[in-house]
Amino acid sequence: MDLTELNRIATAMVAPGKGILAADESSGTIKKRFDAIGVESTESNRRDYREMLFRSREAMSQYISGVILYDETIWQDAKDGTPLVKLIESSGAIPGIKVDEGTQGLPMCPGELVTVGLDKLAERLKKYYERGARFAKWRAVIDIGSGIPSMTAISVNAHALARYAALCQAAQIVPIVEPEVLMDGDHDIDRCYEVTQRVLNKTFQELRVQRVALEGMVLKPNMAISGKKCAKQAPVEEVAEKTIRLLKACVPAAVPGIAFLSGGQSDEEATAHLNAMHKLGPLPWGLTFSYGRALQAAPQKAWSGKAENVAAGQRAFSHRARMNGLASKGEWQSSLEKKAA
* Helix locations, 55-150, DSSP H: 57-62, 71-74, 84-90, 121-131
Q: Tell me which H or E stretch contains 167.
A: helix 151-170
**Of 98, 137, 202, 220, which residue is the catalytic one?**
220
**Helix axis angle, 27-36 to 43-54, nearest 10°:** 80
Catalytic, 120? Answer no
- Pairing assessment for the beta strands 113-115 and 103-105 based on DSSP bridges: antiparallel
- Pairing assessment for the beta strands 286-291 and 94-98 based on DSSP bridges: unpaired
**Of 112, 178, 180, 206, which residue is the catalytic one?**
178
Looking at this protein, which amino acid is placed at residue 104? Answer: Q
Q: Count the neighbouring beta carbons within 10 Å of the beta carbon of residue 110.
A: 10
- Strand spans (E) along 165-295: 174-181, 218-219, 257-260, 286-291
Looking at this protein, which amino acid is placed at residue 10? Answer: A
Distances (CA, A) of 79 to 45, 52, 247, 313: 11, 11, 43, 18
Q: Give the helix, strand, coil percentages of the chain, each rounded to 5.
A: 50, 15, 35
Catalytic, 229? Answer no
CA R_g for the chain: 19
Report the DSSP beta bridge partners of residue 176: 137, 218
Q: Among all residues, which ones are annotated catalytic? A: 178, 220
